[in-house]
Amino acid sequence: MFEGLSGRLGDIFDRLRKRGALSEADVGAALREVRVALLEADVALPVVKDFIDKARERAVGHEVLRSVTPGQQVIKIVHDCLIEMLGGTPGEMPDINAPTPINLIAVPPVPVLMVGLQGSGKTTTTGKLALRLKDRDNRKVLMASLDTRRPAAQEQLKILGEQIGVTTLPIVPGQEPLAIARRALERGRLEGFDVVLLDTAGRLAIDEELMAEVVAIRDATKPTETLLVADAMTGQDAVNVARTFHERVGVTGIVLTRVDGDSRGGAALSMRAVTGQPIKLIGTGEKMDALELFHPDRIANRILGMGDVVSLVERASQTIEKEDAEKLAAKIQKGEFDLEDLASQLRQMRKMGGLQGLMGMLPGVGKIKDQMKTAGLDDKMIKRQEAIISSMTPVERRNPKIIHAKRKIRIAAGSGSTVQDVNKLLKQHQQMADMMKRMKKLGKAGMMRGMPK
Ligand code: GDP
On the question of pLDDT at 452 being above 50, the answer is: no
Please give the average per-residue pLDDT across 405-423, as a whole number.
Answer: 92
Going by C-beta distance under 8 Å and a sequence separation of 6 or more, which residues neighbour residue 428?
none
Gap between the Cα atoms of 114 and 119, Å rounded? 13
Q: How far apart, in Å, are the Cα atoms of 32 and each of 11, 24, 75?
A: 13, 12, 12
- Is 258 annotated in some ligand binding site? yes
What atom of ligand 1 comes closest to residue 118's alpha carbon? 2
On the question of pLDDT at 420 being above 70, the answer is: yes
Q: Say whether both 35 and 178 belong to one domain.
A: no
Residue owning the nearest CA to atom 13 of ligand 1: 121
Looking at residue 343, its pLDDT comes to 81
In a domain, 402, yes or no: yes
Looking at residue 359, its pLDDT comes to 57
* % of the chain exceeding 70 in pLDDT: 78
Q: Say whether both 241 and 115 belong to one domain.
A: yes
Gap between the Cα atoms of 308 and 362, Å rounded? 6
Select the more confidently predicted residue: 429 or 287. Answer: 287
In a domain, 207, yes or no: yes
Q: Per residue in 118-176, pLDDT tens?
A: 999 999 999 999 999 999 999 999 999 999 988 799 999 999 999 999 999 999 999 99
Gap between the Cα atoms of 166 and 152, Å rounded? 19
Element (DSSP H or E) covering residue 226: strand 225-231
Give one DSSP letter per residue of 174-206, joined into a string: T--HHHHHHHHHHHHHHTT-SEEEEE----SS-
Q: Say whether both 249 and 123 belong to one domain.
A: yes
In a domain, 132, yes or no: yes
Which of 93, 124, 150 terminates a domain? The answer is: 93
Looking at residue 174, its pLDDT comes to 92
In a domain, 312, yes or no: no
* % of the chain exceeding 90 in pLDDT: 43
Q: Say whether both 157 and 35 belong to one domain.
A: no
Looking at residue 448, its pLDDT comes to 47
On the question of pLDDT at 453 being above 50, the answer is: no
Gap between the Cα atoms of 214 and 212, Å rounded? 6
What atom of ligand 1 comes closest to residue 285's alpha carbon? 24
- Is 69 annotated in some ligand binding site? no
Gap between the Cα atoms of 445 and 248, Å rounded? 58
Gap between the Cα atoms of 265 and 332, Å rounded? 45
Select the more confidently predicted residue: 165 or 58. Answer: 165
Number of domains into which the chain is organized: 3
Q: Say whether both 133 and 265 belong to one domain.
A: yes
Gap between the Cα atoms of 291 and 195, Å rounded? 18
Q: How far apart, in Å, are the Cα atoms of 433 and each of 175, 317, 400?
A: 84, 26, 11
In a domain, 102, yes or no: no
At position 447, the amino acid (one-letter code) is: M
- Is 272 annotated in some ligand binding site? no
Element (DSSP H or E) covering residue 293: strand 291-293
What atom of ligand 1 comes closest to residue 290's alpha carbon? 23
Q: Say whether both 360 and 286 belong to one domain.
A: no
Is the whole model's pTM more than 0.80, yes or no? no
Output the average pLDDT for the chain. 82
Cα 296 to ligand 1 centre (Å): 22
When pLDDT is cut at 50, 70 and 90, the band that residue 446 belongs to is: very low
In a domain, 311, yes or no: no
Gap between the Cα atoms of 382 and 347, Å rounded? 8
Q: Per residue in 217-249, pLDDT tens?
A: 999 999 999 999 999 888 788 888 999 999 999
Q: Say whether both 369 and 439 belong to one domain.
A: yes
Q: How far apart, in Å, are the Cα atoms of 208 and each of 44, 115, 176, 247?
A: 23, 14, 18, 12
Select the more confidently predicted residue: 378 or 81. Answer: 81
- Is 87 annotated in some ligand binding site? no
- Is 257 annotated in some ligand binding site? yes
Gap between the Cα atoms of 449 and 453, Å rounded? 10
Cα 176 to ligand 1 centre (Å): 24
**Ligand 1, residues at Cβ distance < 6 Å:** 116, 118-124, 202, 257-258, 260-261, 283-286, 290
Gap between the Cα atoms of 395 and 401, Å rounded? 10
Q: Say whether both 276 and 147 belong to one domain.
A: yes
> Comparing 292-296, 348-352, 446-450, which segment has the lowest mean pLDDT?
446-450
Looking at residue 90, its pLDDT comes to 82
What atom of ligand 1 comes closest to residue 119's alpha carbon? 2
In a domain, 310, yes or no: no
- Is 122 annotated in some ligand binding site? yes
What atom of ligand 1 comes closest to residue 120's alpha carbon? 3
Half-sphere exposure of 45 (CA within 13 A, CB side): 0
Q: What are the two backbone dihedrals, phi and then psi, of residue 89, each rounded to the nearest 5 degrees?
A: -120, 125
Cα 250 to ligand 1 centre (Å): 23
- Contacts of 55-61 with CB under 8 Å at 24 or more apart are 55/31, 55/81, 56/27, 56/28, 56/31, 59/22, 59/27, 59/30, 59/31, 60/22, 60/23, 60/24, 60/27, 61/21, 61/22
CB atoms within 10 A of CB 197: 30
**What's the first-to-final CA gap in the chain, in angstroms?**
21
- Is 422 annotated in some ligand binding site? no
Mutate-to-test residue for ligand 1 from 124, 214, 293, highest number of ligand atoms within 8 A of CB: 124
Q: Say whether both 276 and 340 belong to one domain.
A: no
Mutate-to-test residue for ligand 1 from 200, 227, 286, highest number of ligand atoms within 8 A of CB: 286
Q: Say whether both 250 and 331 belong to one domain.
A: no
Q: Say whether both 116 and 79 belong to one domain.
A: no
Gap between the Cα atoms of 321 and 315, Å rounded? 11
Cα 108 to ligand 1 centre (Å): 28
State the Cα angle at 47 between 212 and 95, rounded to 5°.
85
Residue owning the nearest CA to atom 11 of ligand 1: 121
Looking at residue 12, its pLDDT comes to 54
What atom of ligand 1 comes closest to residue 128's alpha carbon? 20
Q: Say whether both 76 and 132 belong to one domain.
A: no
Please give the average per-residue pLDDT across 393-412, as a whole number.
Answer: 90
Q: Per residue in 328-380, pLDDT tens?
A: 667 766 777 788 878 877 777 766 666 665 555 554 455 555 666 665 566 77
In a domain, 53, yes or no: yes
What atom of ligand 1 comes closest to residue 291's alpha carbon? 23
Q: How far apart, in Å, are the Cα atoms of 131 and each of 134, 139, 142, 315?
A: 5, 9, 11, 38
- Is 374 annotated in some ligand binding site? no
Q: Per residue in 86-127, pLDDT tens?
A: 998 887 777 778 899 999 999 999 999 999 999 999 999 999
Cα 29 to ligand 1 centre (Å): 40
Looking at residue 290, its pLDDT comes to 92
Looking at residue 105, its pLDDT comes to 92
Cα 119 to ligand 1 centre (Å): 6
| CB contact at 8 A, 60 and 77 | no
Residue 15: which CATH number?
A: 1.20.120.140
Residue 385: which CATH number?
A: 1.10.260.30
Range of the domain at 386: 320-448
Residue 115: which CATH number?
A: 3.40.50.300
Select the more confidently predicted residue: 451 or 332. Answer: 332
